[in-house]
Structure 1
């Protein structure tokens, strides 16, 4: 069944990926109409999340943000599909890295954890490896359909990136450090961990929630550099990426410093342009449920 679904869907994705941009974003407009106005996919979840995190905004203001978010979400999905056929020259034009020399200087000294949020176009972050000298990895969550999982890995590998699952991340980083293989590891770090496995809680967007701190644990244990990538949407289909160092020596940081800085930078980014954050995730579902050991 998985193979049948892939065989039916893959040709459609390929055709969409090679459409001229006018038609390409026209498809995105149609998708937005269907997803938002016809199906109503997670509209309530998005509005509830916005109400929690922007309590001072009116409902009309929040609904405008919601509508703009869904437009961007459809663009984001389409741009992920576009990656199938996007050339290195095209992605360089559309995903502009404003201070790559800063990252290049750090990679000469040690391995880097490149952390980001589900904001703007995080999928095109992997294209950064085209202009780096060290080996690049992209941490991702394995997809249930093994054929689509292989497709995602192949798409990301086109840009000099080695995809690794969350499960394999720790052993890959430790092995590379042990063997002296300097690398850059891209991680999307704003997901909500399982409640039973949440060992660290902090304030995010005004609410006390469980926080993933795996990047910090790795950085402090192996003395890695941690750099935040801030991606801004300039206009439809065009982005700027800026590198903001959190630490150049993870082992020398105080406990929770790296995670707190990541949260601060992510929150600043969201508050600037909230419509570009991934509001469909139930990011705040455990808000206020801090376990006794964390109080």
Structure 2
């Protein structure tokens, strides 16, 4: 069944991917109408999240953010499909970087990098970064249920010398790379909600106490990586600019989970600036009522 689904769906994805951007975004507008207005995909979740973290915003303000978010989400879905056939030149024009010298300076210092980011702005085209630097790129991801689509996604990322690895593979692969003397850049979208019963750290995110993923910090400390946060701003439709910010070059000098806390504060700053670009469809605050007593803070 997986192969049949791939055979049936792949041609449609390819046709969408070769559309000129003007038609691609016209299709996105249609998709928005069906997802937001007709099917109301996770609309209750989105509005519940927004009301929770923005209790002072009016009903009309929540509605406006929600609508803008779904427009952006549809754009990202089609931009991800566009990645199948977009030219390198077009990608480099549409996804640019403000301060690549920060990354190049760390390369001169022979520091591998833990690149921490959130599901904010656009993370689909960040892989073009590999065309500007000499690091070997890894990105931690969750394997897709359909093995044929999983291979497709890996193939798309590999165009720019980035490699997708699962959480279970991370330590083994990075240990082997370190033994070879390779410099690696390792991308983690670390703002997702971990399982509450196994979380090692809880803290406030957007004013709500929740469990936090600490894997990126743990790996950075184990392999003595510089920790860099990257933020993405949407300039206009189909155009993004990323900026890097060094959290630390010496992660083991920080007490446990301090790096994680700094990371979440940086995400909060992004969200407050333009909340419509955060991924509100995830149930990020679903464990807020399960806070262990030792993590309850006044």
User: What TM-score comes out, normalization by structure 2 length?
Assistant: 0.97
Q: CA deviation at 1:28?
A: 0.5
User: What SS does the corresponding residue of 1:57 show, helix, strand or coil?
Assistant: coil
**Distance in 2 between the 1:146 and 1:171 partners?**
22
**Distance in 1 between the 2:238 and 2:135 partners?**
28
How does 1:274-285 map onto structure 2 within 5 Å?
274-285=275-286
Q: CA deviation at 1:293?
A: 4.3
User: What SS does the corresponding residue of 1:223 show, helix, strand or coil?
Assistant: coil
Output one character per residue of 1:178-226: Cα deviation in whole Å (capped at 9) or x when no partner. 3321110111110000112211101100100000011111112221101
Please name the residue that 2:241 is paired with. Answer: 240
Please name the residue that 1:104 is paired with. Answer: 104
Contact 2:203/2:295 (8 A) holds in 1 = no
**Distance in 1 between the 2:215 and 2:175 partners?**
13
- State whether structure 2 residue 295 is matched by structure 1 residue 294: yes
User: What TM-score comes out, normalization by structure 1 length?
Assistant: 0.98
Please name the residue that 1:19 is paired with. Answer: 19
**Distance in 2 between the 1:233 and 1:289 partners?**
35
Please name the residue that 2:40 is paired with. Answer: 40
The more displaced of 69-78 and 190-199 is: 190-199
Contact 1:119/1:231 (8 A) holds in 2 = yes
Please name the residue that 1:163 is paired with. Answer: 164
Q: Give structure 2 stretches of 5+ with no counterpart.
A: none
How does 1:212-223 map onto structure 2 within 5 Å?
212-223=213-224
Please name the residue that 1:227 is paired with. Answer: 228
Please name the residue that 1:254 is paired with. Answer: 255
Please name the residue that 1:117 is paired with. Answer: 118
**Distance in 1 between the 2:82 and 2:243 partners?**
22
**Distance in 2 between the 1:264 and 1:175 partners?**
33
Contact 2:234/2:240 (8 A) holds in 1 = yes
Q: CA deviation at 1:254?
A: 2.2
**Distance in 1 between the 2:36 and 2:19 partners?**
23
Q: CA deviation at 1:135?
A: 0.8
Please name the residue that 2:70 is paired with. Answer: 70
User: What SS does the corresponding residue of 1:118 show, helix, strand or coil?
Assistant: coil
Output one character per residue of 1:69-88: Cα deviation in whole Å (capped at 9) or x when no partner. 00000000000001001111
**Distance in 2 between the 1:30 and 1:166 partners?**
36
CA RMSD of aligned residues (A): 1.1
How does 1:72-221 map onto structure 2 within 5 Å?
72-108=72-108, 109-221=110-222
Output one character per residue of 1:225-245: Cα deviation in whole Å (capped at 9) or x when no partner. 010011000110000000000
Query: How many residues align structurally?
Result: 295
Please name the residue that 1:28 is paired with. Answer: 28
Output one character per residue of 1:100-123: Cα deviation in whole Å (capped at 9) or x when no partner. 111111123210011100011111
Q: CA deviation at 1:137?
A: 1.0
**Distance in 2 between the 1:247 and 1:29 partners?**
41
Contact 1:220/1:252 (8 A) holds in 2 = no
Q: Give structure 1 stretches of 5+ with no counterpart.
A: none
Please name the residue that 1:8 is paired with. Answer: 8
